[in-house]
Amino acid sequence: MITMSDITKSYRGRPADNPVLSHLNAVFDGSEDIGILGGNGSGKSTLIRLLAGMDYPDSGEIIRSPDMRVSYPLSYSGFFHPHMSGRDNVRFIARLYGADENECIRFVREFAEIGRSFDQPLSFCSSSVKSRIAFAMSLAIRFDIYLVDEVSAVGDVAFKRRCMAAFAERRKHAKIIMVSQAVTTIRRMCTRGAVIVDGQLSWHETMADAINEFENQLGIIHV
């Protein structure tokens, strides 16, 4: 379970009286696939970073159950050290999560299909290579909840299909918290939804109801 209590988050350059998230309260118990909709700048990515522990609120408290393993955002490569190789980055992340280092290295090396680039410093690698490693690393560790900031996979069509198939396999034994503007994707993947409105979460019992609110905000009229 992840509990967010009275969370407020602002960033430099944004008016103090208009925080990204404002006194937000939410409980994610890991029993449903949650989809959160919001427009550009609404706070979707901020929410995911807070849930992952990659960022901290200005005020409030986030409590994560010790028996629930929560992922970092799917395919996110921002935590990689650029002067370390892909192999060493995978080894380091595996240690952080208490996962088997050798098994993670084997999985990522085989899944990413990047050959010798796996042992080069990431600063020498293309964004595509780094994204392949990041996506593979997201799948190498078994999580109870996967955090998803949109759904993206790089590479050719065959590789993208393999990524989505592997992620679907992981989801048989886990739940997701997904933030997105992609209504079609979030409708397909999530069962309960919310919309970020003025720094708060507006909850709905069904994903369809959340989508209706989101589309009403955007002024989308169905005929």
- Per residue in 54-113, pLDDT tens? 889 999 999 998 888 898 887 777 778 999 999 999 999 999 888 999 999 999 999 998
Question: Do the domain assignments include residue 112?
Answer: no
Question: Do the domain assignments include residue 223?
Answer: yes
- 174 pLDDT tier (thresholds 50, 70, 90): very high
Domain containing residue 217: CATH number: 3.40.50.300
C-alpha–C-alpha distance, residues 167 and 59, integer Å: 34
Question: Do the domain assignments include residue 164?
Answer: no
pLDDT (0 to 100) of residue 146: 92
pLDDT (0 to 100) of residue 223: 40
For the residues 33-37, what does the mean pLDDT come to?
94
Question: Do the domain assignments include residue 39?
Answer: yes
For the residues 182-203, what does the mean pLDDT come to?
90
Q: Using CB atoms within 10 Å of the CB of residue 76, give its burial: 0 to 12 exposed, 13 to 18 middle, 19+ buried.
A: buried
220 pLDDT exceeds 80?
no
116 pLDDT exceeds 90?
yes
Note whether 43 and 53 are within 8 A (CB).
no
Task: Report the chain's mean pLDDT, rounded to a whole number.
Answer: 87
Question: Do the domain assignments include residue 183?
Answer: yes
Question: Do the domain assignments include residue 206?
Answer: yes
145 pLDDT exceeds 50?
yes
Question: Do the domain assignments include residue 160?
Answer: no
- 35 pLDDT tier (thresholds 50, 70, 90): very high
pLDDT (0 to 100) of residue 41: 84
Number of domains in the chain: 1
Decide: helix, strand or coil at residue 140: helix
pLDDT (0 to 100) of residue 202: 92
Residue 71: both structure tokens together: 């992922």
Supply the range of the domain harboring residue 19: 1-68+179-223
222 pLDDT exceeds 80?
no
Question: Do the domain assignments include residue 140?
Answer: no
HSE value, Cβ hemisphere, 13 Å, CA-based, for 91: 8
Tell me which residue of 76, 62, 95, 59 sits closest to 147, measured CA to CA: 76
C-alpha–C-alpha distance, residues 81 and 130, integer Å: 11
Note whether 33 and 190 are within 8 A (CB).
yes
Q: Using CB atoms within 10 Å of the CB of residue 120, give its burial: 0 to 12 exposed, 13 to 18 middle, 19+ buried.
A: middle
